[in-house]
Amino acid sequence: MMLKKMLIGLMASVTLVAGAAQAADLAIVSGDTGTGLAFLRSQLDKFEAATGHKVTVVPMPSSTSDQFGQYRLWLAAGNTDIDVYQTDVIWAPQLADQFLDLTDAAKDIVAQHFPSIIESQTVDGKLVALPAFTDAPALFYRKDLLEKHGKSVPTTWAELETTAKEIMDAERAEAGNQDMWGFVFQGNAYEGLTCDALEWVMSNGGGQIIEADGSISINNEQAAAAIDRAAGWVGTIAPDGVLAYQEEESRGVWQLGNSVFMRNWPYAYALGNGDDSAVKGKFDVAPLPAGDGEGARSAATLGGWNVAVSKYSPDPEAAIELAKFLASPEVQKERAIEQSNLPTIEALYDDADVLAASPFMANWKAIFQNAVPRPSAPTKTDYNEVSSMFWSAVHNTLSGNGTAAENLEILEADLTDLKGNGW
Ligand code: GLC
């Protein structure tokens, strides 16, 4: 009898201990753009309620380049404080060694996602991260201003220039709005400029900097013409300050009602229609303009964010559970509605609630599927350096520091050195 009691007592305490061990304290790092962190917190509250785990958010700056620099250091040092990383689509090949392989854990859910996105997060057969959302930029335009001035939505960069200038001049002269600009974009020297400039180059038939086979193609006339054209926007249709703009600074000018056009990612759609926005209900989105010359077409750089689990996490099981939750159809649906982020789950593009909140998504499935990837797959662990050389060459040109032809020639030489016998 005694023995039985003791055994039952022992079993109860074992169960208790096991229960306690299952409730993990997790930490996730995420960049802070728009209301993204508040959204993440609201989802984590649900996860905590459902699982008993606790999750702390470690906020990071908005710039993906700054995040990458910090994460690379933490991971290289084997940081055990952070379990889950929100990762940019371009990072998979560079950080693959530091994250757990999610192939097994995700085998029942990968089929929900677009295969190309799963592929972008797969490095040498290892599934490095689960997709949270995908990204493909848009030309945001002021419907009201185009209508007022009798203009149509530009489909080429040349048209955008003319329309932006005409409306900007007229609004300054007639409406007395001296703060009005024609076009805002991301001109700061960081990853965002690589995205914008890849679009200028690709849309002008100038290739994708480094092609899928690893060859360096950027030093060509069509690429140079596209970058020179963009340099001509600075101080004319765009403020000089655009040279320091990231996504949030462009959105700031736009959302105050001070720009006719903006290049930005879909997240700016929901925010622009928020109650505190001066452009609520006054804008729409279209594909980015095409260049001219041979091979010209509208081009969008492929972006997107994922969730990866650190191999140094002390609670890998709970961390994987969290990653799966953040990639799930439920969270992606709310993300699409509240944050206007593009889902990676095909079925959500036909979801009536999603389309009611973000009608543009009906057209964006095709746009993101045709989006141009940055050369992170062919350049593997060198991508960040490649991109930083590219954005520096472009930033120099935009700043009036050399012509595009001069800067692209130097860039080609530097990329060739970096490549060595690699890639
Ligand atoms: C967006 C994209 C990301 C890209 C970044 C550049 O967040 O989703 O892929 O690297 O913008 O600023």
Q: List strands edge to edge, sheet with 259-264.
A: 181-184, 259-264, 138-142, 283-286
Q: What domains are defined for the chain?
A: 9-128+303-372 (3.40.190.10), 138-301+378-419 (3.40.190.10)
Atom from ligand 1 closest to the CA of residue 304 = 8
Q: What is the pLDDT of residues 224-259, one digit of tens each?
A: 999 999 999 999 999 999 999 999 999 999 999 999
Contact yes or no for 260/181 (Cβ under 8 A): yes
Mutational test site, ligand 1, from 64, 264, 372, max ligand atoms within 8 Å of CB: 64
263 CB contacts (<8 Å, ≥6 apart)? Answer: 137, 138, 139, 140, 183, 184, 185, 186, 196, 199, 250, 288
Distance CA 264, CA 269 (A): 9
Cβ of residue 64 lying under 6 Å from some atom of ligand 1: yes
Tell me the pairing of strands 138-142 and 259-264: antiparallel
Strand partners, 300: none
What's the number of CA atoms in the CB half-sphere (13 Å) around residue 61?
12
Tell me the pairing of strands 181-184 and 259-264: parallel
Average pLDDT of the residues in 343-348: 97
Nearest CA to ligand 1 atom 3: 303
Distance 129 CA to ligand 1 centre (A): 16
Cβ of residue 195 lying under 6 Å from some atom of ligand 1: yes
Q: What is the pLDDT of residues 168-202, one digit of tens each?
A: 999 999 988 999 999 999 999 999 999 999 999 99
Average pLDDT of the residues in 14-22: 47
Average pLDDT taken over every residue of the chain: 95
- Percent pLDDT > 90 in the chain is 93
Distance 147 CA to ligand 1 centre (A): 31
Distance 390 CA to ligand 1 centre (A): 16
Average pLDDT of the residues in 20-24: 73
Q: What is the pLDDT of residues 253-290, one digit of tens each?
A: 999 999 999 999 999 999 999 999 999 999 999 999 99
Cβ of residue 272 lying under 6 Å from some atom of ligand 1: no
Distance CA 136, CA 39 (A): 20
- Provide the sign of the torsion angle of the four alpha carbons 85, 132, 290, 214, taken in this order: positive
Q: What are phi and psi of 17, to 5 degrees?
A: -60, -45
Average pLDDT of the residues in 90-98: 97
Distance 265 CA to ligand 1 centre (A): 8
CA angle 411–413–417, rounded 5-degree value? 115
Q: Give 311's pLDDT tier (boundaries 50, 70, 90).
A: very high
Q: Is the pTM of this model over 0.85?
A: yes
Give the pLDDT score at 12.
43
**Of 248, 243, 253, 228, nearest in space to 168 by CA:** 253
Q: Would you say residue 19 has pLDDT above 50?
A: no
Nearest CA to ligand 1 atom 6: 192
Distance 23 CA to ligand 1 centre (A): 33
| Segment among 18-27, 233-242, 252-261, 369-378 with least mean pLDDT | 18-27
Q: What is the pLDDT of residues 105-143, one digit of tens each?
A: 999 999 999 999 999 999 999 999 999 999 999 999 999
Mutational test site, ligand 1, from 60, 249, 265, 271, max ligand atoms within 8 Å of CB: 265
At position 204, the amino acid (one-letter code) is N
Nearest CA to ligand 1 atom 12: 192
Tell me the pairing of strands 84-88 and 181-184: unpaired
Atom from ligand 1 closest to the CA of residue 246 = 12
Nearest CA to ligand 1 atom 9: 303
39 CB contacts (<8 Å, ≥6 apart)? Answer: 334, 335, 338, 339
Give the pLDDT score at 1.
41
Distance 88 CA to ligand 1 centre (A): 7
DSSP 257: T
Give the pLDDT score at 379.
97
Contact yes or no for 102/311 (Cβ under 8 A): no
Distance CA 368, CA 9 (A): 59
Q: Give 422's pLDDT tier (boundaries 50, 70, 90).
A: confident
Cβ of residue 57 lying under 6 Å from some atom of ligand 1: no
Give the pLDDT score at 345.
98
Which residue, chain included where needed, has tokens 């060459």? 393
Q: Would you say residue 9 has pLDDT above 80?
A: no
Q: Would you say residue 16 has pLDDT above 50?
A: no
Distance 68 CA to ligand 1 centre (A): 12
Distance CA 99, CA 313 (A): 9
Cβ of residue 89 lying under 6 Å from some atom of ligand 1: yes
Cβ of residue 266 lying under 6 Å from some atom of ligand 1: no
- Where is pLDDT greater, at 286 or 19? 286
Give the pLDDT score at 421.
86
Mutational test site, ligand 1, from 60, 86, 191, 395, max ligand atoms within 8 Å of CB: 191
Q: Measured between alpha carbons, how far is residue 329 from residues 48, 121, 325 in Å?
A: 18, 18, 9
The alpha carbon torsion through 271, 277, 282, 284 (nearest 10 deg) reads -20
Give the pLDDT score at 253.
98
Give the pLDDT score at 5.
46
Q: What is the pLDDT of residues 57-83, one digit of tens each?
A: 999 999 999 999 999 999 999 999 999
Give the pLDDT score at 15.
40
